């Protein structure tokens, strides 16, 4: 997972341009997706149902999962095919990566949000998008790229809160707000196991692990993961927990990191809060300190806190037995990419060509959620859960129909077959 940015917030408003959008849409589908992101095929499901469901004047909020670094470009093309022009909410640090990226994103209607703070300006921009009704609004509720295409990471509630607030404001004007859960799945179209094996071998060498000649990828990733975890913990003066099961080890380590960090921050986690929720809360406080010019004296300490929070979030991003429980080529490649990204702390280039599937799931009209007036926390939670479940069901359907090598088991059993 890529590091978060704690640079002072900068607002990047949308600067939508018809001519720029036309040209950039062409470039996205003809050059950027197939070459830079190696998405050589794109299949979109549910377009007809969406067109039939959507009435004149309806406002649309698209809520996709975020499994790859190509998702924004995938959504741009899928929405175009569905007859939707979009404006997209994106973390402000993405705009800070380069002036060219910022220029292109703004001309495509993207605008910035401080995902770890209370961003009234981004909220106003999003509500204005829905008020005008010329564009569909795209929000990624997972908030980060977790590199797990087969499992949805818990949605944050901000997207649902935004949609419900818009629905309340537009209700008296006779306008419906539709939330459309969107499922994205990328899968490899060739048997790229030798390339994955080569990556794993390189990772093993980088962390000082010697792989057995007949090592299978699950065992190799376990050994690499343990070595990488040991390096991360001991380098920060933290103890390595004792556990035989890698997911249990990761969970214990992440919990231990957050226990110490929360003590420093003076935070008491809510009972039953997930590790990701705890990290989000800690990150919000750290971000406030690091971006506050009046707290310069605390910035050095906050940089250390940010590093620890990032470690905890990386640990929390590894789902229990994601690859081992169903060791497809896709899942093993994704996990190897995540390990490489965590080791090198940068985005890794795609290993091979992929096909992308997008499914527009059944829209959720928000009339029922705001029928009695103000929508509260209960409605926000209910809508979030409903969208998260719909996206997961859509992913499962896409996987059932996946004809490509990426969806096939690596060696037939979780620990079978040599690495190469």
Residue 234 pLDDT more than 60?
Answer: yes
First to last CA, the chain: 26
CA proximity to 343, closest of 150, 204, 212, 239: 204
**Torsion over CA: 366, 367, 373, 378 (sign):** negative
Residue pair 352/188 in contact by the 8 Å Cβ criterion: yes
Angle at CA of residue 24, ends 18 and 25, nearest 5°: 85
Band (pLDDT 50/70/90 cuts) for residue 320 is: confident
Q: What is the pLDDT of residues 347-393, one digit of tens each?
A: 999 999 999 999 999 999 998 888 766 668 889 999 999 999 999 99
Residues 6+ apart with CB under 8 A from 405: 188, 189, 190, 191, 192, 329
CA distance 33 to 29: 6
pLDDT of residue 243: 67
Q: CB of 358 within 8 A of CB of 202?
A: no
Residues 355 and 193: beta-carbon distance below 8 Å: no
How does pLDDT run across 241-263, given as a tens digit for each residue? 776 677 778 888 888 889 989 99
Domain boundaries, the chain: 18-190+353-407, 193-344
Can you tell me the mean pLDDT for 215-229? 90
Tens digits of residue pLDDT in 298-315: 899 988 998 888 888 888
Please state, as a whole number, how many other Cβ atoms lie within 10 Å of the Cβ of residue 363: 22
Rounded to 5°, the CA angle 72-75-76 comes to 85
Instruction: Give one DSSP letter per residue of 150-188, joined into a string.
Output: TSPPPPPSHHHHHHHHHHHHHHTTT--EEEEEEEEEEEE
CATH superfamily membership of 18-190+353-407: Glycerol-3-phosphate (1)-acyltransferase (3.40.1130.10)
Reported pTM: 0.90
CB 169 within 8 A of CB 126: no
* Residue 39, helix vs strand vs coil: strand
């Amino acid at each position: 997972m890529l590091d978060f940015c704690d640079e002072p917030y900068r607002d990047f408003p949308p600067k939508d341009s018809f001519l720029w959008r036309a040209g950039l849409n062409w470039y996205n589908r003809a050059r950027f997706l197939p070459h830079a992101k190696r998405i050589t095929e794109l299949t979109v499901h549910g377009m007809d149902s969406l067109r039939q469901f959507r009435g004149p004047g309806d406002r649309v909020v698209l809520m996709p999962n975020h499994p790859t670094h190509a998702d924004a470009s995938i959504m741009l093309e899928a929405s175009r095919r569905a007859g939707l022009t979009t404006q997209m909410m994106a973390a402000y640090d993405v705009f800070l990566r380069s002036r060219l990226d910022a220029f292109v994103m703004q001309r495509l209607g993207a605008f910035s949000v401080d995902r770890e703070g209370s961003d009234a300006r981004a909220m106003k921009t999003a509500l204005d998008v829905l008020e005008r009704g010329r564009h569909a609004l795209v929000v990624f509720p997972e908030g980060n790229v977790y590199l797990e295409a087969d499992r949805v990471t818990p949605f944050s509630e901000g997207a649902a809160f935004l949609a419900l607030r818009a629905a309340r404001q537009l209700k008296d004007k006779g306008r419906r707000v539709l939330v459309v859960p969107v499922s994205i799945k990328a899968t490899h179209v060739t048997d790229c196991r030798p390339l994955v094996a080569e990556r794993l071998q390189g990772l093993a060498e980088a962390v000082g692990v010697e792989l057995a000649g007949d090592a299978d990828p699950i065992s190799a990733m376990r050994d690499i993961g343990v070595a990488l975890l040991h390096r991360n913990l001991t380098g920060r003066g933290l103890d390595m927990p004792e556990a035989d099961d890698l997911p249990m080890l990761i969970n214990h380590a992440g919990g231990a990191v957050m226990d110490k960090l929360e003590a420093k921050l003076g935070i008491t986690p809510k009972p039953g809060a997930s590790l990701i929720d705890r990290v989000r809360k800690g990150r919000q406080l750290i971000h406030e300190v690091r971006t506050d010019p009046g707290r310069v004296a605390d910035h050095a300490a906050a940089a250390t806190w940010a590093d620890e929070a990032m470690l905890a979030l990386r640990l929390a991003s590894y789902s229990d037995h994601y690859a081992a429980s169903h060791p497809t080529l896709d899942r093993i490649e994704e996990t190897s990419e995540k390990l490489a990204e965590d080791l090198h702390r940068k985005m890794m280039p795609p290993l091979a060509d992929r096909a992308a599937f997008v499914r527009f799931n059944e829209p959720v009209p928000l009339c029922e959620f705001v029928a009695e007036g103000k929508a509260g926390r209960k409605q926000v939670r209910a809508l979030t859960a409903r969208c998260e479940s719909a996206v997961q069901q859509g992913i499962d359907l896409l996987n059932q129909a996946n004809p490509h090598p990426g969806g096939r088991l690596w060696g037939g059993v979780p620990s079978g077959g040599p690495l190469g």
